[in-house]
Amino acid sequence: MHVKVTRDDMVDLRTRATAALAGFPRQGLPAAGRRLAAVAVALGEDAQGRPSFLLTRRAARMRTHAGQWALPGGRAEDGEDAATAALRELAEEVGVELPAEEVLGTLDDYATRSGFVMTPVVLWAGSRLQVTSPEAREVASVHVVPLDELDVRPRFLTIPESDRPVIQLPLLGSLIHAPTGAILYQFAELVLRGRHTRVAEFEQPVFAWR
């Protein structure tokens, strides 16, 4: 691990991420009766100029996945592709509005236990990452997280309910589970370490199945 991303790397982070995503043979999934969704992996800089990404904690009163760590995102509306849905959800949930040309690429689809096929869309926000206006009904808190924080080893658990390993990503003094933990792990593997690592086999904890 031990991959450090410094302020000096901000100049070429967008170029590196774009090239890594362009060379990544992403794996899509058919809907197969599931609903389509998209999440935004928004890259930019924090107030100290450090390369960072955006993470939220869902509001405690949400009907589903209340209080869980999440990337901004949600269900795609009729006629929306993944990029359009991710841009819309980013604006609606945290107030970061980006044009379509800030889409850098996509990671592998992830099928959730709650019935979605989720497409992670990597976006470039630059300094706009710092200016957020969260939607209080959906978002309890917004965190601009330095990319250095992804320099961690994931944990894997076994559970009696599944033969797939549950992934946990130590972050922000907590544990980030799939799908968010799996998506961030694949992003770090691809963009920060140059590895093509699949994460579809990683399980969610049982509390996230509904």
Q: Which residues of 104-119 are buried (b: 16+ CB within 10 A; e: fewer)?
A: bbbbbbbbbbbebbbb
Q: Which of 52, 40, 55 is nearest to 148 (CA)?
A: 52
d(CA 195, CA 81): 27
The DSSP call for residue 193 is T
Domains and their CATH numbers in the chain:
7-150 (3.90.79.10)
Q: Report pLDDT digits (tens) over 123-133.
A: 999 999 987 78
Q: Which of 101, 140, 104, 98 is nearest to 122 (CA)?
A: 104
Q: Which of 21, 209, 201, 7 is nearest to 110 (CA)?
A: 201
**What is the pTM assigned to this prediction?**
0.92
d(CA 38, CA 116): 9
Q: Which of 206, 181, 186, 204 is nearest to 196 (CA)?
A: 186
Q: Would you state the pLDDT for residue 146?
A: 95
- The CA angle 194-199-203, to the nearest 5 degrees, is 150
Q: Report pLDDT digits (tens) over 26-73.
A: 999 999 899 999 999 999 999 998 999 999 988 756 555 556 899 999
Q: Would you state the pLDDT for residue 4?
A: 58
* Full 3-state SS string of 49-70: CCEEEEEEEECCCCCCCCCCEE
The DSSP call for residue 115 is S
Q: Is the dihedral of CA 117, 84, 144, 186 positive or negative?
A: positive
Q: Would you state the pLDDT for residue 2?
A: 46
Q: Report pLDDT digits (tens) over 138-190.
A: 788 999 999 999 999 999 999 999 999 999 999 999 999 999 999 999 999 99
